[in-house]
Amino acid sequence: MINLHWLYVLAGAMFAAFALGSARDSSNPRRWGNTAFWGLVAVSFWFGDLVGDIGNGILVLLLVGIAGAHLLGKGSRPSTTVEERERLSARLGNKLFLPALIIPFTAFVGTLAFTYTPLKDMGLIDPKSVTLVLLGVGVILALIVCYAWLRPPVAAPVEEGRRLIDSIGWAVVLPQMLASLGAVFAAAGVGTTIGAMAGAIIPSGSVFLAVLLYALGMVVFTMIMGNAFAAFPVMAAAIGVPILIHQDGGNPAVIGAVGMLSGFCGTLMTPMAANFNIVPAALLELKNQYGVIKAQVPTAIPLLIANILILYFGAFR
């Protein structure tokens, strides 16, 4: 049965390829730092369940040490020439984006087919991981299409992927670390403490106030921790589950999904979400490093208001 284990193997292979490519890239003055960093990420995907909590903790500290010591850099060795890129761009135009659309299309259509056809009873894919597994399948299909259609050099996808990820740097692992931070906060009882405070503030039966605090709490914690995945365990334990679901009888699917969307509104407005807001500003060489955030705030606030209304009317009506 195909499950998340095989997806981790695929992701680990990708990072291992990045590590090997970094070791061979003499144009990068800090190539050994990149090699060590991406190699450790590959180890975490391949052997994370074997090394245990202490081993994973040491691995994370090593990653932080490499990034904190500024041992990461980027090379300047492209897999194709500028002329080749310009020629392909002029000939294909926006058609170049078609392979990227294969990935979400495969995940969406494949999930529907798995759910509503006999595929579910064949035991080929773990039902708990079907969407993520099909997302990985979509990546493989898109890669095959690119090879058959564009005929790039064999190593081009890995080399270009490595150049892109070197441009992003350590921030690429920030979502996983912040999500882990959210789990630590939840295990430490932060959500329970906030829930007790919220219970003292919210009058009994005041559903709208509970929804408002839940949505704003998701935004605030996301802005503090930089990721809605880190904020969700805390706010779900504080307000989402005990008050909105158990006490007020709200729809769990709406409260969970729209609660996350509320958190994403915070993602749009915080520099802590470095991989979304600060890294793009650096890659685009904007004069103001907060330029991306300033452009997103006018969208984030109306979207948050819409999410609050959806939570109130969709989960309790």
Residues 217 and 281 in one domain: yes
Residues 20 and 160 in one domain: yes
Residues 26 and 99 in one domain: no
Q: Give the sign of the dihedral formed by CA 143, CA 44, CA 164, CA 176.
A: positive
Q: Cα(217)–Cα(307) distance, rounded to whole angstroms?
A: 13
**Would you say the pTM of this structure is higher than 0.75?**
no
Q: Evaluate if residue 29 carries a pLDDT over 80.
A: yes
Q: What integer is the mean pLDDT of 71-77?
A: 80
Residue 277 banded pLDDT, cuts 50, 70, 90: confident
The reported pLDDT for the residue numbered 281 is: 74
Find the helix or strand (DSSP H, E) in which 92 lies.
Answer: helix 82-92
The reported pLDDT for the residue numbered 40 is: 93
Closest CA to 244 of 205, 200, 217, 216: 205
Domain that holds residue 217: 189-316
Yes or no: say if 272 and 223 are a contact pair by the CB < 8 Å rule.
Answer: yes
Residues 115 and 237 in one domain: no
Yes or no: say if 40 and 21 are a contact pair by the CB < 8 Å rule.
Answer: no
Q: Evaluate if residue 121 carries a pLDDT over 80.
A: no
* Residue 291, both tokens: 């330029």
List Cα–Cα distances, 303 to 247, 262, 306, in angstroms. 27, 8, 5
Residue 79 banded pLDDT, cuts 50, 70, 90: low
The domain tally of the chain equals 3
How many helices and strands, by DSSP H and E, does the chain display? 13, 0
Q: Evaluate if residue 304 carries a pLDDT over 80.
A: yes
Question: In the listed set 131, 166, 201, which residue is the last one of a domain according to the structure?
Answer: 166
